[in-house]
């Protein structure tokens, strides 16, 4: 028992380091919505500045200026610490002003990528300015050996933990009890609300970034005496710190800090247990613990990260549909071939490197660009294939088979990597994939049980007697190999382009845009995500195999997690949502043509690429959400629009119609029936026992004041919310079916916010819904377009349509699955009265063609004229039911609407 | 090419390797003014003697660095000037350096190997290169001698066309010698959890310890664990009598500090030879009692050290003398000179240099070796034809990191 205590105490040192960094991460996220990968870099700045001040020198990190300035005398602890904290907090302010304020309405993933850019920048800066030598400082906290259970536990680690806890409690208290803290929380919840309340979110954010900087500096200063500072020290520590921050949900300071301490302590305890139990693995133990913790917390909690109440740009840029594949392929291949033929030496090496990393970039286009899953593990998956290939080649597997087989193995691992993404969404997926990458690297690539000491030698490739290897004797790099890489890149690029234009691609984009809506359209979201991860990993695996052939020897260094972060950032920079972006990523990435151009062309010495690419990344993010290829896409779009000018005129035309009053239709048998449906959220009753019958061939209206529970009822019927009571479709009980299964059971549905896939054309948007028609004949695309009057704008991207037509596209998506019942949530939302009428006409046509409709809407005129039967909801209960004439005359309905509004309408209609 | 028939033997004889060059990234870089041995005093110099300029046809020697103008090149350039102006060149031939920077990437390393081959150099010097295997591959079987120091690559160690001026078995035999000397029966090796560091210990040291009847525990430290206290305490609990730290300077400093804080009083051994002053200051009791096992003397009064200081001062314009890359460059290039001196006809091209190296008829003192010698082509280690050194230098340090005494350990000392 004593020994356990001793080892837990030992773990406090590492734990306090993780906790300190986690504290900084959480403070930054709470106030700015940024998961700051550059936290380590900030802590390093504080630590380095402090260390130099203690030697009597002021560190100047700005290139071009002298590295240090002699201050004449060494500073004391308090002096040095105070100045370092101030300098780092000022740097935090600079970061805010220069980087994160301009990126304020960029979505969280963009901000995280910006922080990766800053991380690269700082890391490159320190390496260039400070070299590799570790810098230590004198102990700050008392270092006394405490004898516990016969072992010497130095007191400094306990003090470190206590100090971090104290700082955390102080910070937490000040956020909770001071006005400033309140303002911070307010601005975080709702930026608009803050403005309206007279708060200046800008100023609050600035101060919070300064606080972040200060906390980072304190963390760095306290860490400095424990372990010598090197430029990349903190990047390695970020993953356990992220895990701790995740456990605090990036919101709660104390849980995050305690989690950090706990991680350090448990890792230490595991080391002790390893001594007792041989079966624990000797490599990868600590990293897998971190991963396990993240997984358990995230998957069990399954809550999204709190997001800022800001209107953000769409999560990722457009993913334009390639108009033709042939021309770009020919042009691209020709360019590549010219490059191969004309370049040699270092430049050809850079070109080949670029081809290979473009393949890996394309894997990111599939997983992140199309399917919207942020994966930071792609390079590691490439490594899986690389190492697998080493074994396969050892076992005699010949050329084209070995890399493909290796890529398949990578695909299998990729599926495993992607499993957590089934349960969580958004930026936490990034954290999980990062932790997974680190764990794989530690457990496999570092593990002597699986890899060789000097790496794995790779020969070849040769095919049909032709030697395609990168080097033969002193011939290097060989054009044959370069052409092979070009060929692989072309095949992969064409494949990804084809994916984009395929139904699977549309489904991926649908999942990316809105998972709920995708499920509502009958898309099997889980399957699509898994396929995306598998295809992404396979592609990365191909890249990894080519990289192995190129280097002729595989070690973990080639596939390091740090490099993987860089690959993600440069692909985002180039344009992660399109094939052209993926291809460009190799050119602008580390070791590519741009890098060599900078380092050799500018002739400034040293490795400037990380610094310049960090700056470039941040700049691009500010101006082009789609990356470097953004302007190119805009140009293509403009050209296309010019061609579609005529169609354009039609597309944006407002629609006018007139809905003739008609006798309500009695309808046939009951198609959809609810009995006693209730929905409770905690103590709140949103729907309180609703009985409802929808008869075949009718349009049923569901109306009521705001908050009456209409959408919730629809959610319950379509399976997006848990409910009690029964819901039957044609006598079939739906309660055990998931949403996409209900859709397939012939219940179609649209949503209040139309959630169309902006990049896709009208046809593509509609076709996505065809998956719902399992077991039934789907309507054809032509039929659906006809019914809704959309035939003339079939190929126009929905982004360019008028609101009325957009609503119809949304309906079309639900309609193509040939549903028996169509649930429409505010189909007339955003339409003026004439367009409303026109919509009503179309809905009537639909009904007459045999589709049963249940709709919610606020347009009373439309509802009273269109519907054959109306239910009125208030406070979750049905307060009235009948044909329009009855509802018009019903007092209780008028009262429910607070009289005036409805009374007006009553007079008019 | 003589191949070692017994692959198992070769596998069992893989040498120490550090985490690429980083493991040797001890001592101040050219930016710092720190003393690598902590003394900070002015270095002793000596008289270079009479000038003896080389007058024959130049001979090209390839030297590998990681960056353009790095500390290795400083060493090579200074040593080359010294050899050309004062020692008459390589058997009369002035040395012309062919420099190449690997950028520490495999592609860069391959490019350097290829460049050396294309330029038809007479020999390649590539110690302390992280991607040295990539540099070596193009030169394998090319007839160009490949000279290096720390390496774990079987291909290099097993080839009789490469020349390793370091004892790869030292990790086992020298630490065993220390153990026997100090009366210790088990050792724990503490290193970063990377194949390049755990591998050599497992493959090499373990079997030797087994034969010697001593226990060995491998303690790998994951990269994201900054403080190794738990692992080291566990090793002590398991009964380690001595601790061997193997890795970058910072890693070793932290390890030694931790061991002392835990109150461990057995031998602390490492391969790192240069510690920056502030790192020494952070260790309670400094480096007192630490044992360095390597192939470079840390005794400032050694004649070779004085020569080295003078060469650097004279030809390298005030570059720091305690950078181990500069030191290694000097050591290796001068060793080549002395080796070729045994065969006055050699030196004009790769073939003659190869021949001379493969047939050294007697051991030659290793420059800066503190008494160690080297002899290539003599199978000083039976299973590893590429190795030229079978001894290890033991330096005992004082608190400031100066060597108080040194001794050359041979295989016999390991019993």
The predicted-structure confidence for A353-392, as pLDDT tens digits, reads as follows 999 999 999 999 999 999 989 899 999 999 999 999 989 9
To the nearest whole Å, the CA of B339 is away from the closest chain A CA by 28
What secondary structure, in 3-state letters, does A201-214 show? HHHHHHHHHHHHHH
Residue A66 lies in a domain: yes
B28-166+300-389: CATH class: alpha beta
Q: Which of B138, B195, B203 sits opposite A451 (nearest CB)?
A: B195
Domain that holds residue A868: 670-908
Q: Is A353 on the interface with B (CB under 8 A)?
A: yes
The enclosing domain of A755 has a CATH number of: 3.40.50.300
Q: Is A715 on the interface with B (CB under 8 A)?
A: no
In B, minimum Cα distance to A131 occurs at: B29
Of A246, A280, A314, which residue sits at a domain end? A280
Q: Is A442 on the interface with B (CB under 8 A)?
A: yes
Task: With cut-offs at 50, 70 and 90, classify the pLDDT of residue A776.
Answer: low
In A, minimum Cα distance to B233 occurs at: A151
Q: Which of A132, A151, A445 sits opposite B25 (nearest CB)?
A: A132
The winner for highest mean pLDDT among A95-104, A455-464, B154-163, B333-342 is B333-342
The DSSP code sequence of A325-374 is SHHHHHHHHHHHHHHHHH--HHHHHHHHHHHHHHHHHHHHIIIIIIT---
pLDDT of residue A650: 58
Stronger pLDDT, B411 or A626, i.e. the higher one:
B411
pLDDT of residue A736: 80
Specify the DSSP class assigned to residue A475: B
* Contact residues, chain B, for A14 at CB < 8 Å: 225-227
pLDDT of residue A711: 87
pLDDT of residue B102: 92
Instruction: With CA atoms as reference, report the closest residue to B340 among B127, B89, B96.
Output: B89
Residue A303 lies in a domain: no
Cβ contact A267–B218 (<8 Å) = no
* Contact residues, chain A, for B278 at CB < 8 Å: 51, 55, 135-137
Q: Which of B17, B107, B250 sits opposite A551 (nearest CB)?
A: B107
Q: Is B162 on the interface with A (CB under 8 A)?
A: no
Q: Is A451 on the interface with B (CB under 8 A)?
A: yes
To the nearest whole Å, the CA of A581 is away from the closest chain B CA by 25
Stronger pLDDT, B174 or A651, i.e. the higher one:
B174
Cα distance between residue A532 and residue A529, in whole Å: 5
**3-class DSSP state of A421:** helix
Per-residue pLDDT averaged across A550-568, rounded? 87
Cβ contact A139–B114 (<8 Å) = no
Residue A345 lies in a domain: yes
Query: Does residue A305 surpass a pLDDT of 90?
Result: no
Cα distance between residue A499 and residue A584, in whole Å: 18
Give residue for tokens 């130099």.
Answer: A52
Q: Is the peptide bond before A869 cis (omega within 30 degrees of 0)?
A: no
Query: Does residue B144 surpass a pLDDT of 90?
Result: yes
Cα distance between residue B407 and residue A705, in whole Å: 94
Task: With cut-offs at 50, 70 and 90, classify the pLDDT of residue B37.
Answer: very low
pLDDT of residue B218: 92
Which of A410-424, A597-611, A833-847, B20-34 shows the lowest mean pLDDT across its residues? B20-34
Query: Does residue A903 surpass a pLDDT of 70?
Result: no
Cα distance between residue A52 and residue A84, in whole Å: 10
Q: Is A68 on the interface with B (CB under 8 A)?
A: no
For chain B, what are the domain ranges? 28-166+300-389, 170-298+395-414
Stronger pLDDT, B106 or B350, i.e. the higher one:
B350
Q: Is A267 on the interface with B (CB under 8 A)?
A: yes
Q: Is A55 on the interface with B (CB under 8 A)?
A: yes
- Sign of the C-alpha dihedral, residues A845, A847, A851, A853? positive
Report the number of distinct structural domains present in chain A.
3
Instruction: Cite the beta strand spans of A375-517 per DSSP E.
Output: 456-457, 462-463, 466-467
In a shared domain, residues A793 and A738: yes
Stronger pLDDT, A881 or A769, i.e. the higher one:
A881
Specify the DSSP class assigned to residue A559: G
Instruction: Cite the beta strand spans of A608-709 per DSSP E.
Output: 670-681, 684-695, 699-703
In a shared domain, residues A686 and A627: no
Query: Does residue A37 surpass a pLDDT of 70?
Result: yes
Per-residue pLDDT averaged across B312-326, rounded? 87
Q: Residues of A numbered 112-151 whose beta carbons fall under 8 angstroms of chain B's beta carbons: which are they?
A: 130-139, 143, 145, 151
Q: Is A67 on the interface with B (CB under 8 A)?
A: yes
In a shared domain, residues A270 and A345: no
pLDDT of residue A645: 60
Q: Is the peptide bond before A388 cis (omega within 30 degrees of 0)?
A: no
Task: Report pLDDT digits (tens) over A261-302.
Answer: 999 999 999 888 887 787 777 778 888 888 888 888 887 776
Task: Report pLDDT digits (tens) over A51-77.
Answer: 889 888 898 888 778 888 888 888 888
Query: Does residue B361 surpass a pLDDT of 90?
Result: yes
Query: Does residue B372 surpass a pLDDT of 80?
Result: yes
CATH of domain B170-298+395-414: 3.40.50.2300
Task: With cut-offs at 50, 70 and 90, classify the pLDDT of residue B76.
Answer: very high
In a shared domain, residues A413 and A516: yes
Q: How many helices (H) and strands (E) does chain A have?
A: 37, 18
Stronger pLDDT, B292 or B27, i.e. the higher one:
B292
Task: With cut-offs at 50, 70 and 90, classify the pLDDT of residue A648.
Answer: low
Q: Which of A13, A239, A447 sits opposite B229 (nearest CB)?
A: A13
Cα distance between residue B295 and residue B373, in whole Å: 10
Which of A199-208, A238-247, A760-769, A892-901 shows the lowest mean pLDDT across its residues? A892-901
Q: Is A275 on the interface with B (CB under 8 A)?
A: yes
Q: Is B288 on the interface with A (CB under 8 A)?
A: no
Task: With cut-offs at 50, 70 and 90, classify the pLDDT of residue A721.
Answer: confident
* Residue to test with chain A: of B62, B118, B188, B223, most A Cβ within 10 A: B223
Task: Report pLDDT digits (tens) over B183-194.
Answer: 999 999 999 988
pLDDT of residue A656: 66
Cβ contact A272–B230 (<8 Å) = yes
Task: Report pLDDT digits (tens) over A741-768.
Answer: 777 777 888 877 667 777 677 887 887 7
Here the ipTM equals: 0.83
Q: What's the helix, strand, coil split of chain A in %, to 5?
A: 60, 10, 30
pLDDT of residue A609: 78
To the nearest whole Å, the CA of A235 is away from the closest chain B CA by 9
Q: Which of B227, B229, B278 sits opposite A135 (nearest CB)?
A: B278
Per-residue pLDDT averaged across A447-472, rounded? 83
pLDDT of residue A556: 84
* Contact residues, chain A, for B17 at CB < 8 Å: 453
pLDDT of residue A303: 66
HSE toward the beta carbon, residue A257, CA cutoff 13 A: 23
Query: Does residue A138 surpass a pLDDT of 90?
Result: no
Cβ-count burial A809-847 (b if 16+ within 10 Å, e if not): bbbbbbbbbbbbbbbbbbbbbebeeebbbbbbbbbbebb
Q: Is A345 on the interface with B (CB under 8 A)?
A: yes
CB atoms within 10 A of CB B51: 9
To the nearest whole Å, the CA of B314 is away from the closest chain A CA by 25
pLDDT of residue B95: 96
In a shared domain, residues A518 and A472: yes
Query: Does residue B4 surpass a pLDDT of 70?
Result: no
* Contact residues, chain B, for A453 at CB < 8 Å: 14, 17, 152, 195-196, 199-200, 203
Query: Does residue A346 surpass a pLDDT of 90?
Result: no
Helix axis angle for A345-364 and A378-394, nearest 10°, is 110
Q: Where does A554-625 have alpha helices with state H?
A: 561-574, 579-588, 593-596, 609-623
Query: Does residue B197 surpass a pLDDT of 90?
Result: no
To the nearest whole Å, the CA of B99 is away from the closest chain A CA by 15
Query: Does residue B407 surpass a pLDDT of 90?
Result: yes
Residue A192 lies in a domain: yes
Q: One fold for both B28-166+300-389 and B170-298+395-414?
A: yes
pLDDT of residue B22: 27
Instruction: With CA atoms as reference, report the closest residue to A347 among B109, B137, B121, B107.
Output: B107
pLDDT of residue A847: 87
* Contact residues, chain A, for B196 at CB < 8 Å: 453-454, 555
pLDDT of residue A555: 83
pLDDT of residue B8: 37
pLDDT of residue A904: 46
């Amino acid at each position: 028992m004593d020994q356990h205590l001793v080892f837990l105490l030992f773990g406090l040192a590492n734990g306090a380091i993780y906790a300190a960094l986690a504290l900084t991460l959480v403070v930054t996220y709470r106030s700015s919505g940024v998961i700051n990968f550059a936290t380590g870099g900030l802590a390093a700045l504080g630590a380095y500045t402090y260390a130099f001040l203690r030697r009597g020198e002021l560190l100047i990190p700005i290139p071009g200026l002298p590295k240090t300035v002699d201050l004449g005398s060494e500073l004391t602890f308090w002096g040095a610490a105070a100045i370092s904290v101030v300098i780092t907090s000022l740097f935090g302010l600079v970061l805010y002003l220069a980087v994160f304020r301009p990126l304020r309405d960029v979505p969280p993933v963009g901000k995280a990528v910006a922080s990766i850019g800053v991380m690269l920048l700082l890391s490159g800066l320190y390496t260039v300015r400070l070299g590799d030598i570790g810098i230590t400082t004198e102990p700050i906290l008392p270092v006394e050996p405490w004898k516990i259970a016969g072992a010497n536990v130095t007191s400094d680690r306990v003090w470190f933990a206590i100090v971090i806890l104290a700082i955390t409690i102080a910070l937490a208290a000040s956020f909770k009890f001071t006005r400033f803290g309140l303002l911070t929380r307010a601005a975080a919840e709702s930026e608009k609300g803050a403005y309206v309340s007279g708060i200046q979110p800008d100023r609050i954010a600035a101060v919070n970034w300064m606080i972040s900087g200060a906390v980072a500096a304190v963390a760095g200063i306290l860490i400095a005496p424990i372990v010598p500072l090197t430029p990349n020290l903190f990047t390695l520590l970020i993953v356990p710190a992220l895990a701790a921050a995740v456990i605090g949900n990036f919101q709660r300071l104390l849980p995050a800090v305690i989690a950090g301490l706990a991680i350090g302590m448990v890792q230490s305890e595991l080391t002790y247990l390893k001594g007792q139990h041989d079966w624990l693995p000797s490599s990868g133990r600590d990293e897998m613990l971190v991963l396990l913790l993240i997984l358990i917390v995230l998957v069990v909690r399954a809550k999204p990260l709190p997001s800022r109440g800001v209107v953000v740009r769409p999560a990722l840029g457009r993913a334009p549909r390639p108009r033709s594949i042939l021309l770009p392929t020919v042009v691209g291949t020709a360019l590549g071939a010219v490059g191969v033929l004309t370049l040699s030496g270092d430049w050809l090496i850079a070109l080949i490197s670029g081809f290979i990393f473009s393949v890996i970039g394309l894997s990111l286009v599939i997983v992140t660009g199309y399917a919207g899953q942020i994966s930071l593990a792609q390079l590691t998956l490439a490594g899986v294939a690389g190492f697998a290939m080493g074994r396969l080649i050892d076992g005699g597997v010949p050329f084209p088979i070995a890399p493909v087989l290796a890529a398949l193995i990578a695909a299998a691992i990729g599926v495993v990597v992607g499993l957590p993404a089934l349960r969580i969404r958004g930026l936490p997926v990034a954290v999980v994939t990062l932790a997974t990458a680190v764990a794989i690297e530690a457990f496999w690539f570092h593990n002597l049980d699986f890899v060789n000491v000097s790496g794995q030698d790779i020969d070849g490739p040769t095919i049909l007697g032709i030697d395609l290897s990168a080097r033969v004797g002193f011939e290097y790099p060989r054009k044959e190999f370069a052409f092979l890489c070009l060929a692989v890149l072309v095949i992969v690029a064409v494949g990804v382009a084809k994916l984009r234009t395929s139904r699977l691609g549309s489904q991926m984009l649908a999942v990316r845009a809105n998972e709920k809506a995708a499920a509502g359209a009958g898309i099997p979201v889980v399957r699509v995500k898994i396929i995306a991860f598998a295809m992404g990993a396979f592609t990365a695996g191909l890249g990894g195999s080519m990289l192995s052939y190129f280097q002729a020897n595989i070690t973990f260094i080639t596939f390091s997690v740090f490099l993987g972060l860089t690959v993600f950032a440069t692909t985002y920079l180039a344009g992660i949502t399109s094939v052209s972006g993926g291809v460009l990523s190799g050119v602008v990435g580390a070791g590519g043509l741009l890098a060599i151009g900078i380092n050799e062309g500018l002739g400034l010495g040293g490795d400037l690429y990380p610094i310049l690419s960090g700056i470039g990344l941040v700049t691009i993010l500010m101006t082009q959400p789609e990356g470097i290829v953004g302007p190119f896409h805009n140009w293509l779009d403009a050209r296309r629009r010019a061609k579609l000018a005529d169609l354009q005129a039609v597309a944006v035309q407002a629609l006018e119609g007139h809905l003739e009053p008609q006798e309500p239709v009695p309808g046939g048998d009951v198609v959809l029936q609810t009995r006693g449906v209730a929905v409770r959220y905690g103590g709140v009753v949103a729907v309180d026992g609703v009985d409802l019958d929808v008869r075949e061939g009718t349009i049923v209206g569901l109306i009521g004041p705001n908050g009456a529970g209409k959408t919730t009822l629809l959610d319950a019927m379509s399976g997006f919310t848990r409910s009690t009571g029964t819901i039957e479709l044609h006598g079939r009980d739906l309660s055990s079916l998931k949403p996409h299964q209900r859709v397939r059971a012939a219940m179609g549905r649209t949503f209040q916010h139309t959630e169309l896939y902006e990049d896709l054309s009208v046809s593509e948007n509609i076709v996505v819904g065809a998956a719902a028609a399992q077991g039934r004949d789907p309507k054809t695309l032509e039929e659906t377009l006809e019914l809704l009057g959309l035939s003339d704008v079939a190929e126009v991207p929905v982004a360019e349509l008028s609101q009325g037509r957009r609503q119809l596209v949304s309906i079309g998506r639900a309609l193509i699955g040939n549903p028996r019942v169509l649930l429409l949530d505010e189909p007339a939302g955003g339409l003026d009265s004439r367009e409303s009428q026109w919509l009503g006409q179309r809905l009537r046509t639909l009904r007459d063609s045999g589709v049963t409709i249940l709709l919610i809407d606020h347009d009373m005129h439309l509802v009273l004229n269109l519907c054959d039967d109306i239910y009125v909801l208030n406070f979750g209960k049905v307060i009235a039911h009948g044909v329009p004439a009855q509802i018009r005359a019903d007092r209780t309905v008028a009262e429910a609407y607070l009289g005036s509004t409805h009374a007006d309408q009553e007079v008019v209609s | 090419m003589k191949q070692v028939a017994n692959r198992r033997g070769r596998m069992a004889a893989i040498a120490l390797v550090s985490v690429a060059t980083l493991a040797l990234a001890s001592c101040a870089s050219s930016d710092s003014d720190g003393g690598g041995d902590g003394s900070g005093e002015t270095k002793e110099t000596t008289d270079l003697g009479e000038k003896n300029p080389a007058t024959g046809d130049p001979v090209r020697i390839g030297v590998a660095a990681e960056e353009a103008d790095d500390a290795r090149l400083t060493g090579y350039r200074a040593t080359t000037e010294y050899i050309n102006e004062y020692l008459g060149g390589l058997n009369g031939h002035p040395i012309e350096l062919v420099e190449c920077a690997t950028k520490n990437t495999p592609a860069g390393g391959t490019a350097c190997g290829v460049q050396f081959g294309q330029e038809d150099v007479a020999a390649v010097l590539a110690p302390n290169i992280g991607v040295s295997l990539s540099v070596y591959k193009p030169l394998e079987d090319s007839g160009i001698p490949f000279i290096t120091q720390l390496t774990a690559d079987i291909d290099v160690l097993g080839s009789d066309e490469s020349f390793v001026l370091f004892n790869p078995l030292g990790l086992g035999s020298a630490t065993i010698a220390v153990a026997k000397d100090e009366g210790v029966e088990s050792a724990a090796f503490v290193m970063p959890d990377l194949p390049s560091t755990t591998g050599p210990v497992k493959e090499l040291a373990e079997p030797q310890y087994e034969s010697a009847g001593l226990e060995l525990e491998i303690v790998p430290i994951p990269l994201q664990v900054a403080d190794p206290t738990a692992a080291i305490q566990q090793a002590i609990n398991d009964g380690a009598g001595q601790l061997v730290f193997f890795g970058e300077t910072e890693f070793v400093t932290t390890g030694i500090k931790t061991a002392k804080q835990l109150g461990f009083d057995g031998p602390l051994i490492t391969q790192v030879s240069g510690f920056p002053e502030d790192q020494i200051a952070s260790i309670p009791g400094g480096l007192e009692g630490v044992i360095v096992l390597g192939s470079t003397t840390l005794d400032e009064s050694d004649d070779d050290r004085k020569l080295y200081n003078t060469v650097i001062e004279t030809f390298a314009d005030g570059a720091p003398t305690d950078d181990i890359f500069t030191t290694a460059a000097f050591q290796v290039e001068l060793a080549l000179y002395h080796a070729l001196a045994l065969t006055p006809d050699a030196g004009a091209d790769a073939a003659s240099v190869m021949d001379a190296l493969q047939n050294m008829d007697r051991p030659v003192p290793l420059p800066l070796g503190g008494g160690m010698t080297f002899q290539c082509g003599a199978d000083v280690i039976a299973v590893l034809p590429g190795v030229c050194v079978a001894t290890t230098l033991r330096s005992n340090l004082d608190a400031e990191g100066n060597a108080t005494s040194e001794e050359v350990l041979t295989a016999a000392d390991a019993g």
